[in-house]
Structure 1
Amino acid sequence: MTDLDDLVNWFEGKNKVMVALSGGVDSALVAYAAFQKLGDSAIAVTADYKTLSEEELTTARDVCSEIGIRQLFLDYNELENEYFTKNDSDRCFHCRMELGDHLIELAKEHDVQIIVDGTNVDDLGDYRPGIEALKQYGIRSPLVETGFSKLKIRDAAKSVGLSVFDKPSNSCLASRIPWGQRVTAEKLTRIEFGETIVKQLTKLKHVRVRDLNGSAKIEVDKDMISIFDESILEQITEKLKLVGFSSVEIDQEGYKPGKINVIAD
């Protein structure tokens, strides 16, 4: 029996299940496994809470089409949540508490007893207050319960033909703003435009544009920094200033998750 069989069999006898599905590979594999075992009794739910990029929402739609699973959307605005927008170290906790409220409500509407997410065993080693929040709602993590690491997830996703098998990990746009600097619609918009511009001009898939009080700090994998020659950087700077950034620089240390998770003045 393969690891993927274990994951599919996790859903044995679960009746109706709702999968919290973003545009990433983790929740995509969970949705695939749920659909394999439960068919139409598995439902994917994607939250459009206004801090997820349009690219992620599009990918979420595409992956549900690939799997064949029914998809529902939650539509609400996190920017109306003061606990979220003040952007302290518990921002992700407040985000996930609000998501949990909406998921529980939707589950009741559709007579669903079990909600699952895409948390994997590698996530447990990071600072992830959002995981704790979802636990409080009884949301379960099949990938953790069946011992799936990120590498195992990618291998399994590739083996079943999911297009997101090699998709770089992503997080909500608010994660590009240092703790202590308020999350606003204006900042989120210029971050999203900024990352799209950098991806288009460099053909890179894995890009972060950090918004440091209006200055753009671009992070890419360290071995890709050399792509930013004088010409490319000039084009990027010009376009990023047009969308509202005051200055642009490349982080010479390269991408590292959670790098700006410090309280900023």
Structure 2
Amino acid sequence: MNPEHAWRKFSDLKETIQGIGKAAIAFSGGVDSLLLLTAAHDNGSRQVIAVTIDSSFFPRQELHMAAQLASLLALEHVIIEKKEFSDPRILNNPRERCYYCKRELFTEIKDKVFAAYGTTCILDGTNHDDLSTDRPGMKALSELDVLSPLRDIGFTKDEVRFVLASKGLPAWNKPPSSCLATRIPHGQEITPGKLAMIEAAEDYLLAKGFRQVRVRHHGEVARIEVTPEERAAFFEGSLMDDTARELKGIGYKYVSLDLEGYKTDR
């Protein structure tokens, strides 16, 4: 990664956001959308608002982090409370679920934010690296004319983290997150009860100090994924027994550790 290139791209990003005018940034609290907010903050822009959708798919810890970061940057932050999803194309969890979910969420931003706050467009944090992965949701963004300036400018994830770290933002090394529905295998129904179990299990493990956690939901079985470097922690002291007891209390009958560790896009 070339620091000079990263700063040049950040300058281009600020100029792009400045030229867009009144915009809503879809803010998940992740590093990519945080860089968009940082550019808007550096511009001294009052034309940009951060928008986060609070739904059962979105972990509470991520919602709280998003609110803290928006406050740190002194930008207006709108939280939309999303009613439960009802579209069977989402709840039946097909492989294209993310497409239908993104369409519903970004349409809700347009419906509830554009008229109320005078915004005319939505920005999202898709970056250049995302182009190399299969992301059905990107089709929805294109259909709804959502702008992705990080992708267009060519920002990589490493460059995003470099700029945030250089500016002293506390979340620069935050692990990637994803919606809770990704823990449920395709073809298995998504229900509020399953999502609540997954979130409670992950909250427990995060509180134990794990940085990257996924609890994959396989009916009665919880399959825990942590980074390969953190797997050994389960074999120290009583953590394995404590975790089994806690997750069984949440509602799982069996608790397992994935020996390969955390992997994206499973």
TM-score category, normalised to shorter length: over 0.9
Q: Does 1:67 find its partner at 2:73?
A: yes
Structure 2 counterpart of 1:16: 22
Secondary structure of the corresponding residue to residue 79 of structure 2: strand
Select 2:200's aligned residue among 193, 202, 209. Answer: 193
> Counterpart of 1:83?
89
The residue number in structure 2 matching 1:166 is 173
Q: Which runs of 5+ in 2 are unaligned?
A: 1-6
Whole-Å Cα distance in 2 between the matches of residues 227 and 48 of structure 1?
A: 33
Q: Could you report, residue by residue, the CA deviation over 1:73-116 in whole angstroms, capped at 9, with x for unpaired residues?
A: 11113432222110010110111010121121122332212210
CA contact (8 A) 1:21 1:46 kept: yes
Find the aligned partners of 1:197 and 1:50 in 2 and give their Cα distance: 18
Tell me, in whole angstroms, the C-alpha distance in 1 between the residues paired with 2:158 and 2:58. 24
Letter in 1 for 2:21: N
Check the 8 A contact 1:217/1:251 in 2, yes or no: yes
Give the aligned partner of residue 254 of structure 1: 261
- Checking the alignment, whether the CA contact within 8 Å between 2:18 and 2:45 is kept in structure 1 is no
Q: Which amino acid aligns with 1:54?
A: R
1:98-145: CA deviations, max 9, x gaps? 012112112233221221000001111111111110111100001011
Aligned counterparts of 1:100 and 1:6: Cα–Cα separation in 2: 25
Aligned match of 1:240: 247
Matches within 5 A, 1:1-265: 2-37=8-43, 39-105=45-111, 106-201=113-208, 203-229=209-235, 231-259=238-266
Bigger mean CA offset, 29-38 vs 192-201: 29-38
Between the aligned partners of 2:127 and 2:262, the Cα distance in structure 1 is: 21
> 1:263 aligns to what?
none
Q: CA deviation at 1:38?
A: 5.3
Q: C-alpha separation between the residues in 2 aligned to 1:200 and 1:57?
A: 16
Aligned amino acid, residue 9 of structure 1: E
- Counterpart Cα distance in 2 of 1:88 and 1:32: 35
Identity of aligned residues (%): 35
For 2:3, the equivalent position in structure 1 comes to: none
Aligned-partner residue type, residue 110 of structure 1 = Y
State the Cα distance separating 1:57 from its structure 2 match.
0.1
Which sits farther off after the overlay, 47-56 or 70-79? 70-79
CA deviations 1:1-36 (Å, max 9, x no partner) are 632212111123222111000021110111111232
Measure the CA separation in 1 of the matches of 2:129 and 2:219: 31
Work out the CA distance in 2 between the residues paired with 1:218 and 1:34.
Answer: 38
- Segments of 5+ residues of structure 1 without an aligned counterpart are 260-265
Do the aligned residues in 1 keep the contact of 2:215 with 2:222 (CA within 8 Å)?
A: yes
**Residue pair 1:79, 1:183 contacting (<8 A) in 2 also:** no
**Native 8 Å contact 1:43 1:70 kept in 2:** yes
3-state SS of paired residue (2:53): strand
